[in-house]
Structure 1
Amino acid sequence: MSVLNEGITGNRILSDSPNYEIKALERLDRDVFNQTGVTDVILVKGINDISDFSKLLLDPNNPLMLNPKYDSGDHLHASDPGYKAMDDFINLSMPEHK
C-alpha cells in the first residue's frame, strides 16, 4: 500500500482563491485520479485538518480544544500522534467498491 498526500494550505472546495491556487474540486483529477495506481481515496477537507475526526482528537474534558496528546502545539493542527490516531481510526480493510 502507498499513501499519496496532496494537502495544500488554505485550499478551498468550491471557489478559486488568488492566494491559494485552484479549488479542490478541480484539483481532484490532477492530484488524485490521474495518479498511477490510485484505487481508493480518503478526502479530508475541513477546517484545521480535523473534519470528521473531531470526536477522536478533541479533549474530552474541554471539547473546544484538541486533546493535548494530539496537539501539535499550535492548538489548531494535529501532531504526529494525532495523525497516527486518524490513520488507526480508518478501516483500510473495508471491501472495495468498484
Structure 2
Amino acid sequence: MEVRAGILLIILGTAIVTFIPRVLPLMILTRFELPEWATRWLSFVPISVMAALVGQELLMNDGEVALTTNTVEILAALPTFLVAIKTKSLLATVVVGILSLMALRFIFI
C-alpha cells in the first residue's frame, strides 16, 4: 500500500495538533505547584463536564429542550444518580445505569 506525501503530512499534522494541547499543559504544570484554590477549582472540572454531557443527553432532543421524548432515559437516570451520590463509584454507577436502562426499555419499549 502506498501512502502519498500529502496524506502523510495530513496525518502527521493532525497528530501534532492533537498531541500539543494534551502534553504541553502537562509539561508546564509539572514544573510548579498550583495554589490550593486552583487545585480545588480544577477538581470540579470533570464533574462539570460530565453533568453538561449527561444533562444535554437527557433534557435535549434535536437542539431543543424536550422532557417528554426521553422519558425512559430520565427514569433510568434517577437510580443511577442515587447510586453515584451514595457510592461515589464509577463502576457501580455505570452498572446501575445500564441495568436500569435495559430494564426500562424491556418493560416500556
Q: Could you tell me the TM-score, scaled by structure 2's length?
A: 0.27
Q: Which structure exhibits the higher relative contact order, with contacts defined as CA atoms closer than 8 Å and separated by 6 or more residues?
A: 2
Greater Rg over alpha carbons, structure: 2
Q: Could you tell me the TM-score, scaled by structure 1's length?
A: 0.29
Higher normalized helix content (fraction of residues): 2
